[in-house]
Structure 1
Amino acid sequence: MSSASDESEPTHPASLSREETSQISITAHWSGPLPPPGTLAAYENALPGSAERILAMAEAEAEHSRALEREQVRSETSLTAAEIASERRGVWLGFVLAVFVIVVSAYLMVSGFIGVGLGLISVGLISLVSLFIYGRNHPRS
């Protein structure tokens, strides 16, 4: 009967044989348009001529990136030229408007409308001065 009792008793964990396992993890990092030399050689071994194709693809991608950068610089330069032209146009229009206000104010004062002429020139000068002050203290984004 002892054999029946041996079968019914649970086996103690300490009596079990332990199998130890270990795990090794290797992590590699490669940055760039081409795979690491070992991987490139493996591609070439698996498919002859593939290393040359991979190199040609990386060269084409690099040329494409340079072309995009050149186009970006060109568009930024042309945008800057357009902004400069707009600024110049604004300065000239402001100058013409200021001269017009001064001439009309002078004409009104000579014609006997001194109060209206002074008021017009005052509004014009206050507007120009406030524009210069506002433009200098609040840079564009």
Structure 2
Amino acid sequence: MAPKKAAPVPARKETPSLPSDVEDLKAEIDRQIGSLVNQSNRGEIVTRMVSVVQERFSGPIAHPRHLRAYDDIVPGSAERIIRMAEKAQDHNAGMDTKIVDGQIDDQKRGMRFGLFALVLVLCLAAGFDYMDKPIMAGMFLSTAVLGAIPVFVFGRNGKN
């Protein structure tokens, strides 16, 4: 039986310098295929056979293929991984709810305190007016007005 002729190989492209680990890998492949492939085609075949596979999967659980592999190694582990991700998601949602509820409570407490302070300052202004001290009454009243109106118009953070 006559040896098969190799398909024509297109002109070899110049490859940019590769990291040393890739060069080491190419050298190892070249050593392994040694006498199986003639010397003139060996470099092209090695270059074509070397490939880098990179997978990225973003999410709370592993890629389904990886889950299947985990389950093959330890039966039931895929379900445990999914349950763990569900628990983490429930925990994060609970923490977000607590944070938002805490912020709302803080805002309510601040508004109550602000209203109490405003009423107190207005009472002091009325008291000074009753004692016939209009300058002191005007100072307390102007402080209350200048401090309270912008809060009610623009909010506590001064945003429109």
Identity of aligned residues (%): 12
Deviation at 1:58, TM superposition (A): 2.0
Are the equivalent residues in 1 in contact too, given 2:124–2:137 (CA < 8 A)? yes
- Shift in alpha-carbon separation, 1:90–1:58, aligned structure 2, 3 A: same
Aligned residue number for residue 34 of structure 1: 65
- Check if 1:71 corresponds to 2:91: yes
Aligned residue number for residue 47 of structure 1: none
- Check if 1:19 corresponds to 2:3: no
Aligned residue number for residue 51 of structure 1: 72
Deviation at 1:80, TM superposition (A): 1.0
TM-score (norm: length of structure 1): 0.64
CA distance in 2, matches of 1:84, 1:36: 41
Counterpart mapping for 1:1-141 below 5 A: 19-21=40-42, 22-23=45-46, 24-25=48-49, 32-35=63-66, 51=72, 53=74, 56-132=76-152, 133=154, 135=156, 137-138=158-159
Are the equivalent residues in 2 in contact too, given 1:34–1:58 (CA < 8 A)? no
Aligned residues: 112
- Counterpart residue type for residue 139 of structure 2: G
TM-score (norm: length of structure 2): 0.57
Instruction: Return 5+ residue gaps in structure 1 as ranges.
Output: 1-16, 44-49
Counterpart secondary structure, 1:135: coil
Counterpart secondary structure, 1:19: helix
Aligned residue number for residue 34 of structure 2: none
CA RMSD of aligned residues (A): 3.0
Bigger-Rg structure (1/2):
1
- CA deviations 1:7-26 (Å, max 9, x no partner) are xxxxxxxxxx9632223325
CA distance in 2, matches of 1:135, 1:93: 12
CA distance in 1, matches of 2:142, 2:123: 13
